[in-house]
A and B are shown apart, each in its own frame.
Chain A
Amino acid sequence: MSAPVTAEVLTVSPPATSRRQAPRWWRWLTAIRRSKPATVGAVIILAWILLAALAPLLAPYAPNAPDLAALAHTAPSRAHWLGTDHLGRDLVSRILWGARPVLLIAPLAVLGATILGSLLGLAAGYRRGWIDLVVTRACDIVLSFPVIILYMIILAHFGSSAWNIIAVLTLTKAPIIARIVRGLTLELREREYVAAAKMRGESALYIMLVEILPNARGPLIVDMCLRTGYNIIIIGVLGFLGIGLPPPDPDWGGMVKDTYGMMMVWPHMALVPCAAISSLVIGFNMLAVGLRELGLRD
């Protein structure tokens, strides 16, 4: 996830004037490093991506394997660094494995919402007329409703799975993207290069996707970062409410739900997944704050 995000920082900086340019990845890296929040955020995200990717190698135990002997002493110990949960399952292993679904579902849902929202926003902003009216109104309707209630009704009705979560997140987040892209399109459609493309006889689709969209991506990238963070929160919330990913595979929100009732006795069981999810979201939000700063400065 982090690679494409960092890749786009370049678009907010002015075209380099130097004769010979440094390799691309190096310029992305230096761009990120100019902002402290962005650096901190990127490091946190990268660390979690590495941990999730290497979970099979790093996890000391199988994530769903109960260690009945450990139940007598569930607190952090040498055998279980972060302790075990109420079923004697190793928390380090469950946190590492639990990072995987979060890091897959949240970006996928953001990608879906961005694609859908961009198309709707482009169509509304470029075509105007009735498309604009319908899209704006439909977006307003979705945005004015407290979506958490919608999630509860939909997921309780259709059952919860990774794909259903991606679907509801895509549908409920697309309106925000559509609104942003529409605003940018309204501004960009008056530019000379759009007029030039029209003069060349390019199709409307070409103008929207090739001329307008690439120029709107600066604010979109920042928003995608924020959106990923919020999606991670929602995935956690769904798990916590009992309508998230089905057990027994580790899901951070679900882990909190299972154990927060025992906080008076074993607070570590709920604290560990809470710390994990908070740190990951902080990473994405810091990166977003930093990217916005970089964009404003240039």
Chain B
Amino acid sequence: MARFAAKHLAFLLLTLFVVSFLVFALNEFSPGDVARKELGAYATQDQVEALTKRLGLDRPLLVRYAEYMGKAAAGDLGTSARYKAPVRTVIARHLANTALLAALAFACIVPFSMLLGVAAGMREASRLDRAILLFSTVMASIPEFALGVFLVSVFVVWLGWLPGTATLVAGGGWSVGAQLVLPVTVIVLFDAGYVISMIRASMVEVMQRPYIRTAVLKGMPFRRVILGHAVRNAMINPITVILLQINYLVAGVVVVETVFAYPGFGRMMLEAALFKDIALIEAGALVAVGLAVLTNILGDLAYMLLDPRIRA
């Protein structure tokens, strides 16, 4: 158990360093680039070189990376050129907004996809299974931006029930709560399609196990077979998938945030990438990897809690 944990922790730290180093190297490999971006296209070569020297950018990449990580560990992430504010506060603000969106979506995805996944998988190839499989396949097939456009055209353009943007500033007669409905719905529908099919597949497999047949043959009510025997075993494999969705929900919802002009982490990263805001890109990538690492640890822990066989 302790060895298992230590091994995983070491690997996760390795992930953190590898990815952050790659992003760092991509942005700062040629030292002139950083100074050039700082000074703009009209600066002379001499000015660029002077700044490169002053910022210490002419030192080896590894040295600068070590220094950067040291500063980052102390909480100093530099200043964002795009938002004209300390990177720390910019990221904190956007991350909090995305966390709100992600938490709401996650709270809907888990019960929704468990219900449909278990219902579909308990009787394979039944009519209910067919219908749910079709639904989840179609939902997972429609890109998020298309789903957003479809929902907006019905609920905003046609019916006028909801606002088409979610800027988190109440205005135009719409509350923040109303603004959140469509973004959350898009995320839930798109993501649940995938999670449902994972849970369904696992459930189908569990239902073929001997202990399920035994339970049925000894006359146990079907309800109890499902709730008492099948569901817990069927959730072992999907639980990691479900927890990995946190990762996607926090860093991967850039599309939904763009569709609804939501001031979240993903859209901040897109702007940083398009604006070539190096300090923000590097820190954002670091945060994203850190989150990925954390959700991985969570996934492993949940896996061990659900399946005692792994703890050995």
Choose among A149, A274, A275 the residue with the greatest number of B CB atoms under 10 Å from its CB. Answer: A149
Q: Which residues of chain B in 269-301 are interfacial with respect to chain A, using CB atoms and an 8 Å cutoff?
A: 269-270, 273-274, 276, 281, 284-285, 288-289, 292-293, 296
Chain B facing A: main interface SS: helix
Report yes or no: B273 in contact with A144, Cβ–Cβ below 8 A. Answer: no
Residues of B within 8 A of A278 (CB): 141-143, 146
B239 contacts chain A at the CB level, 8 A cutoff: no
Q: Which of A145, A237, A260, A271 contacts B143 (CB 8 A)?
A: A237
Question: Interface digits, A45-84 against B, CB 8 Å rule (1 contact, 0 not)?
Answer: 0000000000000000000000000000000000000000
Question: Interface digits, A146-187 against B, CB 8 Å rule (1 contact, 0 not)?
Answer: 101100111111000000000000000000000000000000
The tally of CB-CB contacts under 8 A between chains A and B is 133
> Quick one: closest B residue to A151, CB to CB?
B273
A97 contacts chain B at the CB level, 8 A cutoff: no
Interface size for A (C-beta < 8 A) is 41
Report yes or no: B281 in contact with A153, Cβ–Cβ below 8 A. Answer: yes
Known: A144-B292, A149-B269. A237 touches B27 (CB 8 A): no
Residues of B within 8 A of A148 (CB): 251-252, 254-255, 266
Q: Which residues of chain B in 2-54 are interfacial with respect to chain A, using CB atoms and an 8 Å cutoff?
A: 11, 14-15, 18-19, 23, 26-27
Report yes or no: A236 in contact with B146, Cβ–Cβ below 8 A. Answer: yes
Report yes or no: B15 in contact with A256, Cβ–Cβ below 8 A. Answer: no
Q: Which of B133, B146, B255, B285 contacts A274 (CB 8 A)?
A: B146
B152 contacts chain A at the CB level, 8 A cutoff: yes
Choose among A153, A243, A263, A281 the residue with the greatest number of B CB atoms under 10 Å from its CB. Answer: A153
Q: Which of A6-14, A121-129, A282-290 contacts B (4 or more CB under 8 A)?
A: A282-290
Known: A146-B252, A149-B269, A260-B259. A281 touches B141 (CB 8 A): yes
Q: Which of B14, B156, B250, B254 contacts A152 (CB 8 A)?
A: B254
Q: Which of A152, A157, A237 contacts B269 (CB 8 A)?
A: A152
> Quick one: closest A residue to B138, CB to CB?
A282
Chain A facing B: main interface SS: helix
Show the binding face of B for A, using Cβ within 8 Å: 11, 14-15, 18-19, 23, 26-27, 133-134, 137-138, 140-146, 149-150, 152-153, 156-157, 164, 247-248, 250-252, 254-255, 258-259, 266, 269-270, 273-274, 276, 281, 284-285, 288-289, 292-293, 296
Show the binding face of A for B, using Cβ within 8 Å: 37, 137, 140-141, 144-146, 148-149, 152-157, 229, 233, 236-237, 240-243, 253, 256, 260, 263-264, 267, 270-271, 274-275, 277-278, 281-282, 284-286, 289
Q: Provide a sorted-by-A list of 10 A–B residue pairs whose CB atoms are within 8 angstroms.
A: A37-B137, A141-B14, A141-B15, A141-B18, A233-B143, A260-B152, A277-B143, A278-B142, A285-B140, A285-B141
